[in-house]
């Protein structure tokens, strides 16, 4: 109140805490949006459309969307049971398991790629067996999926765990006392109530998988995903050649966000 | 149909319930106790949500031990209803597969027909609790468990639902265990009453017996008999004893040896106060039978449905609480420092530690 009065009297803007907070937050927002706007201004729509027919771009887009979709399905199918267990367990090993889940998030993606190569690389037991079976785990779509799942699945586990924890266990007790089995209870009560949070995690995982670059470079330089294609274009032809694919990737990411947010009816709220 | 608990112990770090031995027939057992005494743990153990460390629970001789909750046929109404927030009231009631006709019948019984298509979040506390009870009864349980069913409700709704539950529970014909910290709810709904403290049953018996003849000071105080005092048996005649507290004497209907020090209790509603200035023969309670003491008012408190008056008995280290119904309360006669006559019928002076009629 005193500040407002003084401002009126002197006519000068005084830096109260609210103004500072707005300035800081606004600066960050501008930092997010300005490069995106600048990218779209730098590329004429015609150039993007022209590159859409380029087989390299089509191939990269197909690989990216297909692999990210498979990775997201895998991350969800494998991640939800772990997330539920983490939400409900009372074991003292919980922090250790949580640390293991979060590890791929804090690991630099290239290191993640190196780590994966020690297990599924062409000279490992697993890698050789996979090649013999006709399903090589490097330089293949499977390699892309492995890399993406490694870095993206923690988003499903961490977010879904928070969503499961927010479901009152009393509701599960109530369901079971109404004659419903544990599994049916999860299906009829827990999953519907946790759905918005789970979908938020799935969205994040899909977006992360679409953008995966570091681990993918190590495991599967071919078939090229869009981030790899951007890098190749940038290195061989220069920055301007990378713009149209970058625009395409931004559009796909935004569309994915919008679609999943609509389905999830505001999972962020 | 009988629910039997034999030596049931449920322990977790820092708390131990039991051993509990209880038998509940086709009746309502009200379990009364303070917060943290193990009431909810007791219900969860019966329902199979907590595995007991020892003991056995049987229903008509069928052992429930090890049975998962979904096959026990024990219905539990949770404290706040625990309605599924993503389902409408109708979907909640029909959750266990009740057919639409049965849902409508229950909705009519519980007067929730007009809220059936609403989500729990938009229902009032009373409506939520009605839906929760209807949902549990829709499964036709063999045992009904109620966890503080009225505690989250406003007073008028609580009184109304208490009345309705009284009629409903009496008509169910299955063993019913209701836990509460509210002695009014326990007294109103329980055919029998068990008082629980620190995980142990302090006393169990017909509700009137436990309320009127508490076994120890905790039961007495927790069930509302707040006047508990030590006295010495000074004389004894056939069936009555004369108790001394300082210079005051009281007659009680009891058997105790002369010289024994006993704990006596009197419910505040049985203590009658009369202004000495207006006193005459008619003002004396004929049932008091000589238990008339001189006292001085210490103060009073209006509790809405009655006045609580604190009286110091003259010549004795004894302070008594009396409840006076509003029509009989005269604030001038009950001003602090006013002399009053205190009358207590001998039959209403109960000595603690007497063996109760029911085990």
Is residue A252 within 8 angstroms of chain B, CB to CB? no
Q: Please give the pLDDT value at position A243.
A: 85
Is the confidence at residue B101, as pLDDT, over 90?
A: yes
Task: Classify burial at B325, counting beta carbons within 10 Å of its beta carbon; exposed 0-12, middle 13-18, buried 19 or more.
Answer: exposed
B329 touches chain A (CB under 8 A): no
8-state DSSP, A188: I
Please state, rounded to an integer, the average pLDDT across all residues of chain A.
88
Residue B49 binned pLDDT confidence (cut-offs 50, 70, 90): very high
Which of A264, A90, A244, A102 is CA-nearest to residue A165?
A: A90
Mean pLDDT of A93-118: 94
Is the pLDDT at A12 greater than 80? The verdict is no
Per-residue pLDDT reduced to its tens digit, B240-262? 899 988 888 899 988 888 888 99
**B72: which chain A residues are within 8 Å (Cβ-Cβ)?**
177
Instruction: Give the residue-averaged pLDDT of A36-40.
Output: 89
pLDDT digits (tens, 9 = 90+) for B258-287: 888 999 999 999 999 887 754 444 445 554
Reported as a single tens digit per residue, the pLDDT across B171-228 is 889 999 999 999 889 999 999 999 999 999 999 999 999 998 999 999 999 998 999 9
Tell me the two tokens of residue A78.
């494998």
pLDDT at A114 over 60: yes
Mean pLDDT across B330-335: 83
**Partner B contacted by A16 (CB < 8 A):** no
List the structure tokens of B339. 């002399």
Nearest by CB to B85, which of A177, A181, A193? Answer: A193
Q: Which residues is A7 bridged to in the sheet?
A: none
- CB within 8 Å: A180 and B84: no
Check pLDDT > 70 for residue A6. Answer: no
pLDDT score of A115: 94
pLDDT at A7 over 70: no
Collect all residues of chain B within an 8 Å Cβ-Cβ radius of residue A197.
none
pLDDT at A74 over 80: yes
How far from chain centre, in Å, is Cα B146?
14
Region B314-329 average pLDDT: 89
Residues 6+ apart with CB under 8 A from A178: B70, B95, B96, B135, B136, B139
A vs B: CB pairs below 8 A: 59
pLDDT of res. A13: 61
- Any chain A CB within 8 A of the CB of B33? no
- Report DSSP state, residue B148: S
Residues of chain A with Cβ-Cβ distance to B70 below 8 Å are: 176-182
Supply the angle between the helices A17-42 and A239-263 in degrees, to the nearest 10.
120
Where does the pLDDT of residue B354 fall: very low under 50, low under 70, confident under 90, or very high at 90 and above? low
Helix ranges (H only) for chain B are: 39-47, 89-93, 100-109, 125-137, 155-172, 183-189, 207-212, 217-222
Residue A8 has pLDDT above 60, yes or no: no
What element of type H or E holds A28? helix A17-42
Nearest CA in chain B to A180: B70
Contact with chain B for residue A168, Cβ under 8 A: yes
d(CA B69, CA B81): 17
Best A178, A180, A184, A198 residue to mutate vs chain B (most B CBs within 10 Å): A178
Q: Is the pLDDT of residue A265 over 90?
A: no
Q: Is the pLDDT of residue A267 over 50?
A: no
pLDDT value of residue B254: 87
Tokens standing for residue B193: 């009453």
- Are B181 and B148 in contact by the 8 Å Cβ rule? The answer is yes
- Across chain B, mean pLDDT equals 89
> Residue B68: what pLDDT?
93
The pLDDT of residue B157 is: 84
Which stretch, A29-43, A73-87, A207-221, has highest mean pLDDT?
A: A73-87
ipTM, interface predicted TM-score of the complex: 0.84
Question: Given a cut of 50, is residue B358 above it in pLDDT?
Answer: no
- pLDDT of A215: 94
Whole-number Å distance between alpha carbons of B299 and B321: 10
Determine the average pLDDT of the residues in B74-85. 94
Task: Establish if B223 touches chain A: CB-CB under 8 angstroms.
Answer: no
Q: Is A93 helix (H, G, I), strand (E, B) or coil?
A: coil
Range B30-50 average pLDDT: 93
On chain A, the residues whose CB falls within 8 A of the CB of B84 are 171, 174-175, 189, 193
């Amino acid at each position: 109140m005193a500040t407002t009065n003084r401002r009126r009297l002197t006519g000068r803007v005084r830096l109260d805490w609210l103004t500072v907070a707005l300035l800081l937050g606004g600066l960050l927002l501008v930092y997010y949006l300005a490069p995106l706007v600048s990218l779209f201004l730098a590329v004429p729509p015609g150039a993007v459309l022209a590159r859409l027919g380029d087989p390299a771009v089509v191939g990269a887009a197909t690989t990216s969307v297909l692999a990210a979709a498979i990775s997201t399905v895998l991350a969800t199918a494998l991640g939800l049971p772990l997330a539920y267990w983490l939400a409900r367990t009372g074991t003292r090993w919980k922090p250790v398991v949580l640390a293991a889940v979060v590890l791929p998030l804090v690991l630099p993606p290239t290191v993640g790629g190196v780590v994966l190569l020690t297990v599924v690389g062409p000279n490992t037991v697993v890698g050789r067996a996979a090649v013999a079976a006709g399903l090589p785990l490097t330089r293949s779509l499977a390699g892309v999926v492995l890399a993406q799942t490694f870095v993206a699945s923690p988003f499903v586990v961490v977010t879904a765990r928070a969503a499961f924890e927010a479901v009152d266990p009393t509701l599960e007790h109530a369901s079971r006392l109404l004659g419903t089995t544990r599994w049916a209870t999860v299906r009829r009560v827990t999953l519907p109530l946790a759905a918005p949070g789970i979908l938020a995690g799935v969205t994040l995982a899909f977006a992360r998988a679409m953008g995966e670059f570091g681990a993918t470079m190590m495991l599967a330089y071919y078939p090229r995903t869009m981030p790899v294609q951007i890098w190749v274009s940038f290195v061989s032809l220069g920055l301007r050649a990378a713009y149209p694919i970058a625009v395409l990737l931004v559009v796909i990411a935004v569309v994915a966000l919008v679609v999943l947010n609509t389905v999830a009816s505001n999972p962020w709220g | 149909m009988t629910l039997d608990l034999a030596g049931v112990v449920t322990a977790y770090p820092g708390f131990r319930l039991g051993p509990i031995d209880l038998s509940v027939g086709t009746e309502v057992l009200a379990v009364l106790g303070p917060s943290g005494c193990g009431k909810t743990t007791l219900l969860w153990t019966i329902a199979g949500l907590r595995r007991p460390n020892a003991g056995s629970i049987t229903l008509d001789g069928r052992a429930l031990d090890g049975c998962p909750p979904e096959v026990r046929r024990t219905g539990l109404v949770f404290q706040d209803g625990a309605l599924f927030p993503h389902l409408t009231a109708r979907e909640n009631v029909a959750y266990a597969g009740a057919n639409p006709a049965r849902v409508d019948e229950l909705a009519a019984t519980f007067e929730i027909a007009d809220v059936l298509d609403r989500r729990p979040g938009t229902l009032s506390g009373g409506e939520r609790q009605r839906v929760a009870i209807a949902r549990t009864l829709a499964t036709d349980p063999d045992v009904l468990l109620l966890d503080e069913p009225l505690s989250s409700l406003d007073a008028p709704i609580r009184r109304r639902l208490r009345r309705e539950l009284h009629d409903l529970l009496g008509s169910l014909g299955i063993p019913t265990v209701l836990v509460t910290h509210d002695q009014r709810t326990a007294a109103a709904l329980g055919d029998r009453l068990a008082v629980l403290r620190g995980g142990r049953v302090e006393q169990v018996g017909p509700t009137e017996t436990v309320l009127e003849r508490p076994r120890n000071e905790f039961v007495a105080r927790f069930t509302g008999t707040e006047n508990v005092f030590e006295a010495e048996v000074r004389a004894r005649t056939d069936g009555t004893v004369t108790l001394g507290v300082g210079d005051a004497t009281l007659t009680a209907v009891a058997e105790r040896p002369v010289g024994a020090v006993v704990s006596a209790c009197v419910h505040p509603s049985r203590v009658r106060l009369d202004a000495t200035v207006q006193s005459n023969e008619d003002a004396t309670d004929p049932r008091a039978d000589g238990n008339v003491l001189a006292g001085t008012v210490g103060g009073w408190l209006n509790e809405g449905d009655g006045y609580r008056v604190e009286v110091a008995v003259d010549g004795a280290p004894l302070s008594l609480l009396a409840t006076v119904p509003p029509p009989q309360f005269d604030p001038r006669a009950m001003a602090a420092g006013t002399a009053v006559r205190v009358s207590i019928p001998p039959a209403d002076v109960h000595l603690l530690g007497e063996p109760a009629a029911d085990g």
